[in-house]
Amino acid sequence: MWLIVVQVSTLLSLIDVAVNRLPAALVMATGSMVGVGIGAAALLARQPQWVLAALLGAAGLGGVYLLLAVLVPSQMGMGDVRLAAVLGAALGIGGWETLLLGAVLPYLIGLPFALAQLRHSSPLRRGQVPFGPLLAAGAIIATALTS
């Protein structure tokens, strides 16, 4: 399942950097693949709690990003919300520590980029840091650090 997440996250990151948008169809297709992967893994390993953990992770991380998108719509798009839910499902099966680390790391990784942008760009371009690559990197690093 993480092989799919890494490959599609790379593609989504390139798209987000190029056009500042995450295509809904690609994110939702990834979510479907992740869901099927988690379901199959849970069935084969006889670990039904993985499905519940994935659902809670998706709802938790997706819900936080939905709240951010509602409160600050100019800074967080619905593509980021969808991707957060997909990554939350994948992170959820790693446990709460993995999920929490995956939620915090995108901001830590993005901080230097945001500061550099504030320092070197015009006021019109501020706030245009693509967040999809940061979400993906945070999830992948969190999984690598906690597994």
Is the Cα dihedral 32, 7, 69, 109 positive or negative?
Answer: positive
pTM, two decimal places: 0.91
Q: Where are the domains of the chain?
A: 2-146
pLDDT digits (tens, 9 = 90+) for 112-132: 988 887 787 655 455 577 899
10 pLDDT higher than 80:
yes
Lowest mean pLDDT: which of 2-6, 56-60, 97-101, 122-126?
Answer: 122-126
The contacts of residue 127 (CB under 8 Å, 6+ apart) are 74, 75
- Banded model confidence at residue 92, pLDDT cuts 50, 70, 90: very high
pLDDT digits (tens, 9 = 90+) for 15-55: 999 999 999 999 999 999 999 999 999 999 999 999 999 99
What pLDDT is recorded for position 23? 96
What pLDDT is recorded for position 123? 53
Q: How far apart are CA 67 and CA 114, in angstroms?
A: 21
Mean pLDDT estimate for the chain: 92
